[in-house]
Chains A and B, each alone.
Chain A
Amino acid sequence: MEYETEAHTFMLGAGLKPMAKLSFNLTGSYTKGTGNISELSFAHLETSDVKLSYNVSALNPNQIYLYDTAYINGISAYSNADFKELDVTLGVAYRLTKQMGIGLNYYYTDYQDDAPYVYRDESNTLQSLVGYLTYSF
């Protein structure tokens, strides 16, 4: 059995201060993460036990035996983790006076769950605005 996880993270940022009173900032990050289990190779085990070897193919062609160790190979299909997350922040700050300033930030987060499993689909998009007034002394 092999368990593999992989993650790529890209980040970008920029800050600009065109004048003493004014500044801008832009940041962004993008993450893609995956995980999976593979190389499971269980074979069917014949036993003399009536339950373990009970043939149910007449009821379900996709499931010949009631219990079959080979069914465990299905873990490869439903063990995948696969998500993408994009975060962006855009901000501006302005100094009104020597002691007072204002600012506004915008936040964007987009999380895409491409392989929902035990926690179901956790995809989400969130946006918010933060405004503030600062007084220094």
Chain B
Amino acid sequence: MKGSSIELDMVRAGYGGEEVLRGVSLSVDRGRIAAILGPSGCGKTTLLRVIAGLVIPRSGRVLLDGEDVTRLPPEKRDIGFVFQDLALFPHMNVFDNVAFGLKVRGVSREEIRRRVEWALEVAGLNPPRDFFSKKVTDLSGGQQQRVALARAIAYEPKVLLLDEPLSHLDLKIRQRLLVEFRRLQRELGITMVYVTHDQWEAMELADILVIMKDGQIVQAGPPSEVYSRPVNTYVAMFFGDANIIPVNGSSRRRYAVIRPEDLEISLDPNAASHANSFRATVENVVFQGPVIRVDLKWEHGTIRALIPRRQAQKLPRIGEEVTVRWRPEDAWIVEG
């Protein structure tokens, strides 16, 4: 199976008088995973529905493998869609749910049986045959999730679209399914667009991370790039934790973005003479497993530092005045 490339060109879309997507352009190469990250109401689900053909854009174009599909109905796009509420057919058993896309394609009975079994196995339901005649309403949340996934891949679509598919599951199952999504994409070469509001899910999956806000894409790129070089303070704070420090002596409003793990805390009073440093008071110290979080207060507000656990001996106490330092290359300057 080969995935198709996805391209959105200045797409505007909405419902009634409300414009939800305000000029979105995005391109995803074949076989890659794009994770769309943004707060609720930012338009990320609508973006997915536009790719699927469930929402027709008011203007702009949608291209799959370079072909303009803007006005093509969903059934002609060769896509798989995993809905947030799963949308399993309650009157069909597991087999018929997974077989649906194959039946409407007129696939032969033996082939349907083979593909259903394959899809359930790929989705991690083992042994697949045990699930054939089960009612979907009798399955656990994780199993329903897997059936929804199997149903969307059984006919080997070129594009798999997932709308917050893990939001109702607990952490353990989520982590397992995330690994399986990755494996799926690797083994099937399918192009995936994954909508989430969870940045850890996004990091786990994404080749390209897309940050959305108010119906527009604010930044798109590899997660490491978005993390280390956010285009503005919104992206810096939305994707990962960030300290935003105003830069002095500039005519425009500029800020230094410093990740908490890049800050260093020194108890040495002489350390304050460094250029990239200031004095702050320790407000809170929280043990977080691999790291210790230190909340500090300084003249421009609060700031957060993460100290590796192995340096725990050198930790300050609450109320203590310390010097906070960073390397100049760890401060990323943004405007606004």
A-B complex is real: no
**What is the interface of chain B, defined by CB distance below 8 A to chain A?**
none
